[in-house]
């Protein structure tokens, strides 16, 4: 194996007249795992295509294991590099196995019959990506995450030394995103596969890639996450929007361990940090509308505890000033409870979304009650109980989603401690605006 | 890259999936379990071959003079040189069967095979369910070629190897039209399939317009329109064995080429960009596929005029029956197309005998309902 898997030497590329890449140079050593970051149009996909040799640079050289990529015969290039594209449609009802078998194309003989080593490679790729049970299904019928797996299997069956991925986590929910990246890391560590991936999620990039290249037609930064994700650099490359959810320094190596409070960046453009004035208890999508409404109204809020992979978690991570995180599917930990109690006290107001109540989270209601008793405002959101819900309608709804046995009693206690009822997120906002006015 | 599996559970999984039979065997790649298409193919291809043989016998049997099917079969088998049934029939029967009827029947077989394969090639390349062998301007090119032949004074006198001037110019017209479409769709060495489709539509319109002008400004207008109309409506026009050999050679060439590009067509289904990433020289493959399709269509057109529906429908039928893989789809479409056209031609000659119906009308009339029934019974499973 040569010392350099992939080398860009002063590479420029222009589509027609529009310059897509300007004097880009970097080297990737065999077995490295490198993430490409940058806004849309920064040239991430162009770099991948140049690396695969399907585009020829306007200037400079792209070397693939010591040979110039665009001069290699297509077949030879495809034996060295495999590409996992971002978007993918298949026109005919091919089965997953048939699709994965196509990964063997650059290694087949004239008539394209598969030999035993080809079958072995296909089986191995299906097993590694854990989709062997889907092998007989039609590719078109797979879910987004399963498709992504199948494409990865296709690329693995190709058995190249370098794996290129174009936004492998786009269109996936958070669980698939994490599983995909875990798989890539495993492939990198255990097989020494060289990985170059264009990424859009800075958080995940920072967590899974030891080296990041920040692009904006040129290489803006190249190094470990702490260096590549400098806040000023990001702000200059992405514009202001990126400051949401990204922090300076090392802390943005985010998705923190359970129970930690994640201090998010300010959502306002001026970068001035504002303390949360309300804490949101949500989960399972019950808080989605509310959190968006809060963010739209410019009301800073904290949220959690939320399980990683929960649909509210992904949103809270983007919109909330702070978010308390728990591992996937885990009950609320003691640390999480403590952090939530602290957040409620600090915010001075609590929004309780209609979450299903179970043994794992009912303790949060106790916390909300003590917050209410010590003077915090508590608002109970209950969209299902009619437009002007009364106590009885509310309690009936609570009983319907209670699996802990304590739900209705705790809600009753909350109401007695002065909690208010809101039927819609907008009503909540009306109630809350008073809160904020009171603070300022 | 090392090929061993990462997951200790993986071999067990592979075994579960594949080598179900021998529990004692080590986990190895399950051969043959590469999709249900192959198992069906084992049944389908012998069945198709038998059906084709049967269709040929039927087509030979029913015509103006009735000859018993058993006699037909024996004569045909003797003619292959592999069999030697003692002759129990008059020599005239043999002459009728082998010299008068068989060339025409073989013509139908070849036309069907050519159109079926051309349809499969173009549907695969264009990733379009409506793709039809006549899509790339070949039909109007052939029609224009045929019309142009009428401008020559010796149109009915000249012939070469049994081909009339009409057949020759239709053949050339189809090829030239496809070449023109391909050239017009190509820019900077790339030929996007959408450009190919659009150029095909535009060139077709242009050539049809020119054809109309030729007819309008011809002083034998009425005669020309009638002859052209019959020609366009399609029908097998083979008189000599030479014609069969020439067209047969072209079709064989096209079929062989189609089998060679078949695996590439599967990869094309993933999109051109992915095909390039999988090591295909995409533009060169595209030229090859279009050239093969044009050759097959031109060969068919020269002896049959425009026989529609076959190339559109036959590949769909076999995609439903055998799955989308082109290594199976292409030979199956060849056999299926041959059967279809042979039987349609038989019907065209016999339904209102002694009059002969236009073959193109018959293929649509018979094939249409059959295809619709199949499509409806396949239901949502068939996402083309």
Nearest CA in chain A to B3: A121
A248 lies in a domain? no
For residues B147 and B108, the model is more confident at B108
Number of domains in chain B: 1
B90 lies in a domain? yes
Instruction: Indicate whether A24 pLDDT > 90.
Output: yes
Q: The tokens of A19 are what?
A: 């310059």
Report d(CA A161, CA A13) in Å as an integer. Answer: 25
Conformational region of residue A43, where left means phi above 0, alpha means psi within -120 to 50, and beta covers everything else: left
What pLDDT score does B294 carry? Answer: 93
Average pLDDT over residues B275-293: 92
User: CB–CB of B10 and A83 under 8 A?
Assistant: no
Do A261 and A380 fall within a single domain?
yes
Report d(CA B262, CA A112) in Å as an integer. Answer: 9
CATH number of residue B178's parent domain: 1.10.3470.10
Instruction: Indicate whether A439 pLDDT > 50.
Output: no
Do A284 and A208 fall within a single domain?
no
Tell whether A185 lies on the interface with B, counting CB pairs under 8 A. Answer: no
For residues A435 and B287, the model is more confident at B287
Looking at A210, A239, A268, the residue that finishes a domain is A239
User: CB–CB of B36 and A136 under 8 A?
Assistant: yes
A25 lies in a domain? yes
ipTM of this complex prediction, to 2 decimal places: 0.78
Judge whether A365 and A357 are in contact, CB under 8 Å. yes
Instruction: Indicate whether A255 pLDDT > 70.
Output: no
Strand A67-68 and strand A6-15: the pairing is unpaired
A246 lies in a domain? no
Residue B157 binned pLDDT confidence (cut-offs 50, 70, 90): low
Best interface-test mutation with B: which of A80, A84, A124 has the largest number of B CBs within 10 A? A124
- Which among A95-104, A203-212, B126-135 has the top mean pLDDT? A95-104
What pLDDT score does B383 carry? Answer: 57
Residue B155 binned pLDDT confidence (cut-offs 50, 70, 90): low
Angle between helices B221-233 and B193-216 (to 10 degrees): 150
- Which among A82-86, B5-9, B334-338 has the top mean pLDDT? B334-338
User: CB–CB of A124 and B5 under 8 A?
Assistant: yes
Residues in chain B: 384
Chain B residues lying within 8 Å of A112, measured CB to CB = 262-263, 327
Residues in chain A: 440
Judge whether A114 and A104 are in contact, CB under 8 Å. yes
Query: What string of H, E and C letters represents the secondary structure of chain B?
Result: CCCCCCCCCHHHHHHHHCCCCCCCCCCCCCCCCCCHHHHHHHHHHHHHHHHHHHHHHHHHHCCCCCCCHHHHHHHHHHHCCCCCCCCCCCHHHHHHHHHHHHHHHHHHHHHHHHHHHHHHHHHHHHCCCCCCCCCCCHHHHHHHHHHHHHHCCCCCCCEECCEEHHHHHHHHHHHHHHHHHHHHHCECCECCHHHHHHHHHHHHHHHHHHHHHHHHCCCCHHHHHHHHHHHHHCCCCCCCHHHHHHHHHHHHHHHHHHHHHHHHHHHHCCCHHHHHHCCCCHHHHHHHHHHHHHHHHHHHHHHHCCCCCHHHHHHHHHHHHHCCCHHHHHHHHHHHHHHHHHHHHHHHHHCCCCCCCCHHHHHHHHHHHHHHHHHHHHHHHCCC
Q: Is A8 helix (H, G, I), strand (E, B) or coil?
A: strand
User: CB–CB of B277 and A187 under 8 A?
Assistant: no
Average pLDDT over residues B244-256: 94
Report d(CA A368, CA A374) in Å as an integer. Answer: 10
- Residue in B14, B266, B383 closest to A127 by CB: B14
Chain B residues lying within 8 Å of A86, measured CB to CB = none
Do A39 and A141 fall within a single domain?
yes
Range of the domain at B371: 65-378
What pLDDT score does A256 carry? Answer: 33
B121 lies in a domain? yes
A251 lies in a domain? no
A1 lies in a domain? no
Report d(CA B69, CA B59) in Å as an integer. Answer: 10
Average pLDDT over residues A267-294: 72
Residue B17 binned pLDDT confidence (cut-offs 50, 70, 90): very low
What pLDDT score does A263 carry? Answer: 42
Judge whether B109 and B57 are in contact, CB under 8 Å. no
Answer yes or no: pTM beyond 0.90.
Answer: no
User: CB–CB of B13 and A74 under 8 A?
Assistant: no
> How do residues B288-335 score in pLDDT, each as one tens digit?
999 999 999 999 998 888 888 899 889 988 988 888 899 999 999 999
CATH number of residue A64's parent domain: 3.40.50.300
B205 lies in a domain? yes
Q: Give the H or E element holding residue A197.
A: strand A194-198
Instruction: Indicate whether B152 pLDDT > 80.
Output: no
Do A217 and A283 fall within a single domain?
no
B356 lies in a domain? yes
Instruction: Indicate whether A178 pLDDT > 60.
Output: yes
For chains A and B, what is the number of CB pairs under 8 angstroms?
150
Chain B residues lying within 8 Å of A126, measured CB to CB = 14, 17
Provide the CA A47 distance to its chain's centre, in angstroms. Answer: 22
Q: Give the H or E element holding residue A34.
A: strand A33-37
Do A260 and A177 fall within a single domain?
no
User: CB–CB of B34 and A105 under 8 A?
Assistant: no
> How do residues B29-66 score in pLDDT, each as one tens digit?
343 444 455 677 788 899 999 999 999 988 888 876 77
What pLDDT score does B87 carry? Answer: 84
Average pLDDT over residues A30-46: 90
Strand A301-307 and strand A218-223: the pairing is unpaired
Nearest CA in chain B to A158: B278
What pLDDT score does A276 carry? Answer: 85
CATH number of residue A363's parent domain: 3.40.50
Residues of A (120-159) whose Cβ lies below 8 Å from B: 120-124, 126-128, 130, 132-133, 135-136, 138, 140, 158-159
Looking at A239, A267, A283, the residue that finishes a domain is A239
> How do residues A307-357 score in pLDDT, each as one tens digit?
887 878 877 887 888 889 888 777 888 888 999 999 998 888 999 998 888
Q: Is A365 helix (H, G, I), strand (E, B) or coil?
A: helix
What pLDDT score does B199 carry? Answer: 92
Judge whether A282 and A305 are in contact, CB under 8 Å. no
Looking at A209, A239, A269, the residue that finishes a domain is A239
> How do residues A283-309 score in pLDDT, each as one tens digit?
887 887 788 778 767 788 899 898 887
Token pair 């190509």 is found at B186
- Which among A67-76, A149-158, A217-226, A417-426 has the top mean pLDDT? A149-158
What pLDDT score does A25 carry? Answer: 94
A86 lies in a domain? yes
For residues A39 and B184, the model is more confident at B184
Number of domains in chain A: 2
B16 lies in a domain? no
Average pLDDT over residues B82-97: 85
B4 lies in a domain? no
Report d(CA B331, CA B322) in Å as an integer. Answer: 11
Judge whether B333 and B341 are in contact, CB under 8 Å. no
> A198-202, B12-16, B75-79 — which is least confidently predicted?
B12-16
A356 lies in a domain? yes
Residue B367 binned pLDDT confidence (cut-offs 50, 70, 90): confident
A244 lies in a domain? no
What pLDDT score does B2 carry? Answer: 40
Q: The tokens of A210 are what?
A: 């030891």
Instruction: Indicate whether A222 pLDDT > 50.
Output: yes
Range of the domain at A22: 6-239
């Amino acid at each position: 194996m040569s010392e350099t898997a992939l080398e860009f030497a002063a590479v420029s590329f222009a589509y027609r007249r529009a310059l897509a890449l300007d004097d880009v140079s970097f080297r990737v050593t065999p077995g490295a795992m490198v993430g490409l970051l940058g806004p849309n149009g920064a040239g991430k996909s162009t770099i991948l295509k140049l690396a695969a040799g399907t585009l020829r640079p306007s200037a400079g050289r792209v070397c693939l294991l010591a040979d110039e990529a665009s001069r290699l015969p297509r077949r030879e290039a495809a034996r060295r590099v495999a590409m996992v594209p971002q978007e993918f449609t298949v026109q005919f009802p091919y089965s997953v196995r048939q699709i994965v078998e196509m990964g063997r194309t650059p290694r087949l003989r004239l008539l394209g019959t598969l030999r035993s080593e080809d079958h072995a490679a296909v089986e191995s790729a299906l097993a590694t990506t854990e989709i062997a049970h889907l092998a007989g299904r039609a590719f078109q019928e797979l879910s987004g995450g399963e498709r992504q797996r199948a494409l990865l299997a296709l690329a693995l069956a190709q058995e190249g030394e370098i794996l290129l991925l174009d936004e492998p986590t786009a269109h996936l929910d958070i669980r698939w995103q994490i599983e995909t990246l875990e798989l890539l890391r495993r492939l990198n560590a255990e097989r020494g596969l060289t990985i170059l991936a264009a990424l859009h999620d800075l958080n995940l990039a920072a967590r899974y890639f030891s080296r990041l290249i920040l692009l904006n037609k040129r290489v803006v930064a190249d190094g470990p996450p702490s260096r590549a994700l400098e806040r000023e650099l990001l702000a200059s490359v992405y514009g202001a929007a990126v400051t949401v959810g990204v922090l300076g320094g090392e802390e943005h190596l985010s998705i923190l361990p359970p129970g930690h409070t994640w201090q998010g960046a300010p959502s306002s453009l001026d970068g001035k940090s504002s303390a949360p004035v309300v804490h949101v208890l949500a989960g399972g999508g019950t808080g989605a509308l509310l959190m968006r409404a809060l963010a739209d109204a410019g009301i800073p809020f904290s949220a959690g505890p939320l399980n990683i992979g929960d649909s509210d978690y992904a949103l809270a991570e983007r919109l909330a000033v702070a978010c308390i995180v728990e591992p996937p599917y885990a009950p609320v930990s003691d640390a999480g409870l403590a952090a939530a109690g602290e957040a409620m006290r600090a915010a001075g107001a609590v929004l309780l979304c209609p979450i299903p109540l179970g043994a794992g989270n009912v303790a949060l209601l106790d916390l909300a009650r003590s917050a209410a008793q010590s003077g915090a405002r508590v608002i109970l959101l209950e969209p299902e109980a009619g437009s002007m819900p009364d106590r009885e309608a509310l309690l009936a709804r609570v009983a319907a989603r209670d699996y802990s046995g304590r739900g209705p009693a705790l809600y009753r206690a909350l109401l007695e401690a002065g909690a208010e009822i809101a039927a819609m997120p907008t009503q909540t906002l009306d109630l809350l605006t008073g809160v904020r006015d009171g603070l300022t | 890259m090392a090929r061993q599996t990462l997951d200790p559970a993986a071999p067990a999984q592979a075994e579960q999936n594949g080598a179900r039979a021998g529990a004692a065997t080590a986990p190895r790649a399950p051969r043959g379990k590469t999709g249900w298409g192959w198992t069906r193919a084992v049944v389908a291809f012998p069945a198709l071959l038998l059906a084709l043989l049967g269709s040929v016998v039927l087509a030979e049997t029913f015509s103006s003079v009735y000859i018993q099917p058993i006699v037909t079969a024996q004569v045909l088998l003797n003619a292959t040189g592999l069999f030697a049934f003692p002759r129990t029939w008059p020599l005239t029967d043999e002459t009728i069967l082998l010299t008068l009827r068989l060339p025409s029947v073989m013509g139908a077989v070849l036309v069907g095979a050519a159109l079926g394969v051309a349809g499969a090639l173009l549907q695969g390349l264009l990733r379009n369910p409506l793709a039809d062998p006549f899509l790339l301007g070949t039909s109007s090119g052939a029609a224009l070629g045929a019309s142009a032949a009428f401008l020559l004074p010796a149109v009915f006198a000249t012939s070469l190897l049994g081909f009339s001037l009409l057949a020759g110019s239709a053949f050339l017209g189809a090829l030239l039209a496809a070449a023109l479409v391909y050239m017009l769709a190509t820019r900077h060495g790339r030929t996007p399939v959408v450009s190919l489709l659009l150029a095909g539509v535009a060139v077709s319109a242009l050539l049809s317009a020119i054809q109309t002008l030729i007819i309008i400004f011809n002083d034998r207008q009425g005669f020309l329109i009638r002859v052209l109309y019959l020609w366009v409506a399609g029908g097998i026009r083979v008189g000599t064995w030479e014609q069969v050999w020439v067209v047969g050679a072209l079709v064989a060439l096209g079929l062989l080429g189609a089998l060679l590009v078949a695996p590439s067509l599967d990869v094309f289904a993933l999109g051109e960009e992915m095909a390039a990433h999988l090591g295909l020289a995409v533009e060169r493959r595209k030229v090859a596929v279009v050239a093969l399709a044009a050759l097959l269509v031109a060969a068919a057109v020269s002896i049959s005029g425009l026989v529609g529906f076959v190339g559109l429908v036959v590949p769909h039928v076999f995609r439903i029956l055998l799955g989308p893989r082109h290594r199976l789809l292409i030979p199956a479409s060849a056999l299926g197309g041959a059967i279809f056209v042979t039987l349609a031609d038989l019907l065209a000659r016999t339904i209102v005998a002694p009059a002969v119906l236009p073959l193109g009308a018959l293929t649509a009339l018979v094939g249409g309902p059959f295809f619709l029934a199949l499509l409806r019974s396949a239901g949502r499973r068939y996402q083309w």
